[in-house]
Structures are given as structure tokens and as C-alpha cells.
Amino acid sequence: MGIIEKMRLDGKAAFVTGGARGIGKSAAQAFAQAGADVAIVDMDIDEARKTAAEISGETGRNIVAVETDVTSKEQVDLMVKTVVDKFGKLDIAMCNAGICINAPADEMTYEQWFKVINVNLTGVFLTAQAAGKVMLKQGYGSIINTASMSAHIVNVPQPQCAYNASKAGVIQLTKSMAIEWAKKGVRVNSISPGYIGTDLTLNSPNLKPLIQEWNRMAPMGRLGKPEELQAICVYLASDASSFTTGSDFVIDGAFTCW
């Protein structure tokens, strides 16, 4: 089998958390374009349904929307069961849902800290764990966790210690799961995007001054595009990455090379 064939996802089943928009939506589109059936998992079920209909119309794949709060173990377990019941198996899990709250470390409230850690780290753990249990029984599967270049650097000028800590935790969680499951057919990797120009980011008035500063600091002088993450997501989901586990892939236009 050639490399192009190995990159195909025909007959595979996937879910993407935070899949209604942004990076998650772009990854779901890529999985479907490569031949997979995909569950769009999001708290915003209306937007998830719109995204599912859009991707299904574009690709002809079986795309469903599932409402889930990734911080709830019960909802995550039910979501994974729903996906397996719908598709008959689970080959690919992209644990992507995340939030960011910018607040100085000396002013950040416990509630703000807990919310970010709960969504970004505990949510990834719960989702990867639930997917992993299914995949371990099957003897195969690929889990892709969304970390961030913020796991590798301290972003400026915005203060975001909780976000940075949560994303660093995602990478170590990824490596830990990868080691535990390496001989059991389940691969676990993470991606660490740089600043990505999603619709929400580009259309936020509060972020415009920050975007100008980020672009000034960026070696390439611009934000990344969601579609520029698609190739790595498909690679990690596919059989082409059969020897790749426990790795973190930084896609940031060399931002962290400073």
C-alpha cells in the first residue's frame, strides 16, 4: 500500500470535541474528506448540527452532532457510547475542546483557574479515557489531543497562566497514555498549534490589538489558518502514522523558535 492510500480514512469512525467551529471543525472536515464518518461533539448543539450538515453535504459522509460537556464524565461516557452505537466502532478520537481566560496570576480567581483546568485538562483526560477504553477492547485506535504552543512558551502580552499550565498538562497526559497503551494498539499524540485565525478570533474586537502584536512577533508575520492543521490531523488519524505515538507536533510558523 502506497503512502497516499495509507493516509486515507475510508471506513473509519471519528469524533471531534469542540468540533462545531474553528480548529475542531477544520479537523472534522479533513477526516470526512479523507473518508471517515465523524461525530461533531460540542456544547453548542445548534452550531454542531449546522457543521454536521455542512460537512455531510460537502463530503457525502455520515456526519452526526452530539451535545456534550467534556467536564462531565457521565456526558462523555454517553457521548462515546452514542458514537460507537452509531458507527459500530471508534477509530479516531480528537480531544480538542478548550477555553482560555486571560487574567493576571495574582488576580485570577479560583473559579477562573478551575474552569480552564477543568475544560482543557480534565476534559481531555475524560474524553481520551472513555475513547481509550473502547479502543483497548478493539485493539486499535488513534487519539489526538489538542495542546498548544502555550505548553512550550509563556505567551505575551496577555496573562494566561491557567491556559498555559493546562496545555502543558495535556502534553504530559498524552505521553503518559501513549506509554501505557503502546503495546495495546492504541496510539496517543498531541498537536500544539500556534496562534490560529479562526472566525471567532478574527472577529473579536477585544483580540484585534493582541492579533496585531502577535503578528508583529511572528516570524511569518501572520496567524495560522485552521486548514493548515488538517494534514497533521489526518496523518495522526491514519495508518501512515502507525509508529507515531507519544509525540507532540508544534505547528506555529516557528513562533516558539525565538
Cα 127 to Cα 71: distance, rounded to the nearest angstrom: 9
Task: Check: CB of residue 171 under 8 Å from CB of residue 189.
Answer: no
And the C-alpha cell for 209? 490589538
140 is catalytic: no
Q: Exposed (0-12), middle (13-18) or buried (19+): which is 55, by Cβ within 10 Å?
A: buried
Out of 26, 142, 167, 195, the active site residue is 167
168-to-81, 120, 226 alpha-carbon distances in Å: 29, 10, 21
Q: How many helices (H) and strands (E) does the chain have?
A: 10, 7
167 is catalytic: yes
210-to-124, 195, 214, 229 alpha-carbon distances in Å: 27, 11, 6, 22
Cα 215 to Cα 55: distance, rounded to the nearest angstrom: 31
148 is catalytic: yes
193-to-46, 69, 253 alpha-carbon distances in Å: 26, 23, 9
Cα angle, residue 118 at apex, residues 253 and 172 outer, rounded to 5°:
50
Out of 142, 148, 166, 241, the active site residue is 148
50 three-state secondary structure:
helix
Out of 163, 192, 195, 238, the active site residue is 163
Cα 85 to Cα 241: distance, rounded to the nearest angstrom: 27
Catalytic residues: 148, 163, 167
